[in-house]
């Protein structure tokens, strides 16, 4: 299993090579797509990318946690968390890649 990370620059390079836009246009396209995804999530909307997965923001209520070192109880404030659920198509691709 590889420990590589895909960056915005890598995505821009892939768009440049596969779509044929200029490097600047490719970078702008990647930024626009990621920006729209972020904006939708900020508004609390679900983002579903077909054959990839679904991003969803959900709220978590306040609860009492415990400091593992001291055992002291500490309140964990309410917050919003981002969840991702992979599509079955993506899960199948990952499992097929693992078998090879």
Q: pLDDT tens digits, residue range 39-77?
A: 999 999 999 999 999 999 999 999 999 999 999 999 999
Rounded CA-CA distance 64/72 in Å is 10
Predicted pLDDT at 2 = 62
pTM metric for this prediction: 0.78
Q: pLDDT tens digits, residue range 10-26?
A: 999 999 999 989 999 99
Pick the closest to residue 39 from 17, 24, 57 (CA basis).
Answer: 57
Question: Would you place residue 98 in the very low, low, confident or very high pLDDT band (cuts 50, 70, 90)?
Answer: confident
Q: Is 14 helix (H, G, I), strand (E, B) or coil?
A: helix
């Amino acid at each position: 299993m590889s420990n590589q990370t895909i960056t915005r620059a890598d995505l821009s390079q892939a768009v440049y090579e596969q779509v044929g836009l200029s490097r600047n246009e490719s970078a702008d396209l990647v930024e626009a797509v990621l920006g729209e995804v972020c904006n939708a999530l900020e508004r609390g909307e679900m983002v579903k990318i077909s054959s990839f997965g679904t991003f969803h923001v959900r709220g978590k209520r306040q609860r009492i946690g415990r400091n593992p070192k001291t055992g002291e109880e500490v309140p964990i404030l309410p917050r919003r968390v981002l969840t991702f659920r992979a599509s079955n198509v993506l899960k199948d691709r990952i499992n097929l890649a693992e078998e090879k």
